[in-house]
Amino acid sequence: MKKGINFLDCLDIDLALSILTRLDNPADLVRASVVSQSWHHFVIANRLSKQLCLRMFPQIADLDQIVGPNNGKTSVNVESSNPMEWEILERDHKVYASLVRALAESKDNPKDCIACVIGASSTDREPEESVVNTLFPIDRYMWGGSYWSSKGQSNPDVPETLTYKLSADVCAVTEIDIRPFEVYWEPGSPVYSAKSVRFRMGHLKSPRKDEIDFWHLPLQQPANDKFLWSYTSPEFPMSQENHLQQFKLPEPVLCIGGCLQIELLGRAQREEIDGLFYICVCYVRVLGLPLSPAFVLKKSRDLQLKYNPEAFSLF
Residue 220 has pLDDT above 70, yes or no: no
Per-residue model confidence (pLDDT) at position 110: 85
Per-residue model confidence (pLDDT) at position 73: 54
Asked if 53 and 22 count as a contact pair (C-beta separation under 8 A), the reply is no
> Which pLDDT tens digit goes with each residue over 231-246?
999 999 999 999 999 9
Per-residue model confidence (pLDDT) at position 295: 83
Phi, psi of 98 (to 5 degrees): -70, -40
Amino acid identity, position 156:
P
Per-residue model confidence (pLDDT) at position 91: 78
Per-residue model confidence (pLDDT) at position 66: 74
3-state secondary structure of 91: helix
- pLDDT category, 219, cuts 50, 70, 90? low
Using CA atoms, how far apart are residues 177 and 162, in angstroms rounded to an integer?
13
Asked if 214 and 165 count as a contact pair (C-beta separation under 8 A), the reply is yes
Around Cβ 114, how many Cβ atoms within 10 Å?
Answer: 19
Which uninterrupted H or E stretch holds 198? Answer: strand 194-204
Using CA atoms, how far apart are residues 225 and 210, in angstroms rounded to an integer?
17
Per-residue model confidence (pLDDT) at position 264: 98
Which of 24-38, 129-143, 282-296 is predicted with the least confidence, judged by mean pLDDT?
24-38
> Which pLDDT tens digit goes with each residue over 142-188?
878 999 999 999 999 999 999 999 999 889 999 999 999 999 999 99
Mean of the pLDDT values across residues 265-271?
Answer: 96
Q: Which residue has the higher pLDDT, 143 or 312?
A: 143
- pLDDT category, 76, cuts 50, 70, 90? very low
The DSSP result for 126-172, as a single string, is TTTT-GGGGGSS-SEETTEE--EEPPPBSSTT--EEEEEEESSSEEE
- Provide the whole-model pTM: 0.81
